[in-house]
Homo-oligomer: A and B are copies of this chain.
Amino acid sequence: MEPRKPYDIDSLTDVALRVFAERGYDGASMDDVARAAGITKASIYHHVSGKEALLERGLGRALDALFAILDEPASRDGRAIDRLRHIVGQVAETTLRLLPELTVLFRIHGASKSERNAVERRRAFDRVVTEIIGQAQRDGEARADLDPRLGARLIFGMSNSVVEWYRSGSLTRDAIARAVVAIAFDGITPRA
């Protein structure tokens, strides 16, 4: 067996996120992170000031990935309903690809400064999507009988819920992302 490469801040963040996702951020201690990394707590503090700094890096990764989706051409150009479809699919795919990061993001409740900042960025993301749903309604391409903010919450609620049950297994990430888009846009009943 090759000796393990020394940790750097990124690989330590990977370990910490898995621990936070499993035990909850509040329930996880730096001792838990050190144990999962197989190094001493002192070695961790060589790289990072503490638990909140690890959380902050993890939340940054999650939110940077979500906002990167909004910058993609398919999220910015074209009809609102098509932009929305692209965003929803990419959010689902990103959630599955960065599962520990997004799991931690979806569970925080704004107790610390890093958490409050992350909650603010999530709200900003939701506002962009709410605006796109509103535009799709004005275009006549999204149902008019839906509060756009509620629509955004429910669609992302569905997509975010994958962090509660997904384990790499029989269903591919792509199949799950497609099912999220299918239900969000067309529901489970067949179109005529």
Residues of B within 8 A of A142 (CB): 188-190
- Looking at the complex, which one of B162, B175, B187 makes contact with A187 (CB distance below 8 Å)? B187
Give the interface size class of chain A.
Answer: 35 or more
Q: A36 on the interface (CB 8 Å rule)? A: no
Main SS at interface, chain A: helix
Known: A154-B161, A158-B154, A171-B147. A185 touches B182 (CB 8 A): no
CB distance from A48 to the nearest CB of B (A): 23
Closest to A142 in B: B188
Residues of B within 8 A of A141 (CB): 189-190
The answer to whether B158 touches A157, judged by C-beta atoms less than 8 angstroms apart, is yes
The answer to whether A185 touches B188, judged by C-beta atoms less than 8 angstroms apart, is yes
Which among A27, A161, A184 has the highest number of chain B CB atoms within 10 Å?
Answer: A161
The answer to whether A188 touches B151, judged by C-beta atoms less than 8 angstroms apart, is yes
Mark A residues whose CB is within 8 Å of B: 24, 26-27, 81, 106, 133, 136, 140-147, 150-151, 153-162, 164-165, 171, 175-176, 179-180, 182-192
